[in-house]
Structure 1
Amino acid sequence: MASAPAPGVVVVFDFDRTIIDWDSDDWVITKLGAADAFLRLRPTMRWNPLMDRMMAELHARGKTAEDIRDCLMSAPLDAHVISSIKTAAALGCDLRVVSDANTFFIETVLAHHGVLGCFSEISTNPARVDADGRLRISPFHDTAAAPHGCSLCPENMCKGKIIEKIQSMADTKNQHFIYIGDGKGDYCPSLKLSEGDYVMPKENYPLWKLICNNKQLLKAEVHPWNSGEDLEKTLLKLVNKMITPPAQVSSLDCSKCEMSKPASTEVGHHQALRVPH
């Protein structure tokens, strides 16, 4: 049995260049030989519909969903990041992913490395394989029916609104957040954090630069990181700071990471489902 949960510790991870040290869209497009089409189409399309179009391009070139899955599984994931995820989950933290990638990419990578079950929820752009075998990617927010209205975020996803949703479903007086990210889209959710929360921006990436230029706007305490090893040390230091007395990591059970699949928060399905462990 795992130890008693860390009371109210929610750890939110971005995915691209945070959990993974690369960009999943770029990895798939480049490794499967469609960079030429991407460069041609990029000036004419927004990112989310462009990724759906690129999946159509790969399909037209004979690449299957399994080819995409294999491509994603061939990419590296830092052992320190895997360890930090498993340890934080075993310590009782509520781990979540909030990402502008997509369900297919994220679930493939996390499952391949044995940490998918560590997460209670994944909030990202929905993806599915259609009847023709083509991977389809949709926006998280229905941009036509219900635009999110946030000027800081891309039209398909406001991560700040996702954080607000998580906060609204819990007792925020006894719940504290650690938000880990790198990109411009991670700035809005960082602004939603309160005193007693922490934000971990990747050094010299857009989130870090935005925070440095507007430090007075953040209520959360800032703890930068710059490598997988640094992420692990910083995250576990903060988690243990919230747990009294500090937990002994060596005695914890990480088996739940292998046992369950997180809920996915997708367009038209914004009420989170809890996953039994």
Structure 2
Amino acid sequence: RYLEAVFIQCIPPDRPVRRPISPHTNMAALSNLTNAASPAQRFLVFFDFDETIINESSDDAVVRAVPGQQLPDWLKDCYREGHYNEHMQRVLAYMAEQGVSQDSIRSVVEKIPPTPGLPALFQYLLKHQQDFELVVVSDANMYFIDTWLQHVGLRHLFRRIFTNPASFDAAGRLVLLPFHSHSCSRCPENMCKQVILREYLAHRQEERGGAPFHRVFYVGDGANDICPCLALGPQDTAFPRRDFPMHKLLVEMQQFQPANFKANMVPWASGDDVVDFLKKLREER
């Protein structure tokens, strides 16, 4: 499940923030707040989505919209490792055949809970948006991510969203499309997150007049979040969700292949753990 296919799509920033955030504001009350990207932003933060921003897999959650809230065995059994996007295309086609509507899918996605502490983390990042540029790199799809972020009022916090392109066709079926091919042996054949990270860093440095980010952070949970972290340098930090596959694999890598992973590692169980780290970092300047 963690070596899922993932594709890419970019979403531009929108309008600037208009009002401050109260520390007691809930997720839904953060609507209309945006992240005004600026060359002065010193830090770049990449976020995975499933089981990182939200507290479960959106692909698993959407099955609750199916009659009986489960898939037939024949559909479950057709999954091939490394070809998860193909599997989800069949799942979504099946859902359309069962009469599952766009409204039903949206309703299920909107009800997915955030991961503990992530609302506090986003409030902190909004408060200090002059320092942080945020990006989503996810193996979910654009419809799920955009729907959820819009619902909780955080859509405009992210300068870019990289994920599976997805849209509803004339027949009302949610359709996923593949993005690219690559030569990375670690990743599913249709997505390498490290390619996204490297290309985005190069693109943004050019846009910033040659100025790199002071530090890059990657917050994730899954095995497919390992590859992008291998492109991080000694000044950067990987935040693996504690006791999830990304954390376990990085611990093994630090022990048996230390030369391959150069970044710092800060495991987290709650978004509050990431906030504590970022507070200390800002105090050092």
TM range (shorter): 0.7 to 0.9
- State the Cα deviation string for residues 25-49 of structure 1 (Å, max 9, x = none): 0111144246333x42243342101
Q: Does 1:35 align with 2:74?
A: no
2:56 maps to 22
Q: Does 1:132 align with 2:167?
A: no
Distance 1:172 1:50, change over 3 A: farther
Select 1:195's aligned residue among 216, 229, 234.
234
Distance 1:172 1:241, change over 3 A: farther
Q: How does 1:75-90 map to 2 (within 5 A)?
A: 75-78=112-115, 80-90=117-127
- State the Cα deviation string for residues 33-86 of structure 1 (Å, max 9, x = none): 46333x422433421011111111111111111210011112222463123123
Identity of aligned residues (%): 34
Amino acid at match of 2:44: V
Contact 1:191 1:218 in 2 (8 A): yes
1:49 maps to 86
2: CA distance, partners of 1:75 / 1:167 = 31
Contact 1:16 1:23 in 2 (8 A): yes
Select 2:108's aligned residue among 30, 49, 71.
71
2: CA distance, partners of 1:174 / 1:29 = 40
1: CA distance, partners of 2:171 / 2:199 = 35
2:15 maps to none
2: CA distance, partners of 1:221 / 1:15 = 21
Q: Does 1:103 align with 2:138?
A: no
- State the Cα deviation string for residues 106-164 of structure 1 (Å, max 9, x = none): 111111111111111100000011111111011232xxxxx211111112211110110
2:279 maps to 240
Higher mean alpha-carbon deviation, 164-173 vs 205-214, is at 164-173
Select 2:185's aligned residue among 127, 144, 151.
151
Query: TM-score by structure 1 length?
Result: 0.78
Distance 1:4 1:207, change over 3 A: closer
Amino acid at match of 2:187: C
Select 2:199's aligned residue among 152, 165, 179.
165
- State the Cα deviation string for residues 178-219 of structure 1 (Å, max 9, x = none): 100010100000111111111000111111111011111211
1:10 maps to 44
Q: What are structure 2's unaligned runs of at least 5 residues?
A: 1-17, 21-35
3-state DSSP class of the match of 1:83?
Answer: helix
Q: CA RMSD in A?
A: 2.2
Q: What are structure 1's unaligned runs of at least 5 residues?
A: 142-146, 247-277
1: CA distance, partners of 2:162 / 2:150 = 16
Contact 1:225 1:234 in 2 (8 A): yes
Amino acid at match of 1:160: Q
Amino acid at match of 2:245: P
2: CA distance, partners of 1:44 / 1:80 = 36
1:257 maps to none
Contact 2:65 2:100 in 1 (8 A): no
1:249 maps to none
2: CA distance, partners of 1:101 / 1:53 = 15
2: CA distance, partners of 1:172 / 1:42 = 48
Which has a greater percent of helix? Answer: 1
Select 2:245's aligned residue among 196, 200, 206.
206
Amino acid at match of 1:111: Q
- State the Cα deviation string for residues 214-257 of structure 1 (Å, max 9, x = none): 1112111100012xxx22x23223333443577xxxxxxxxxxx
Higher mean alpha-carbon deviation, 172-181 vs 115-124, is at 172-181
Q: How many residues align?
A: 236
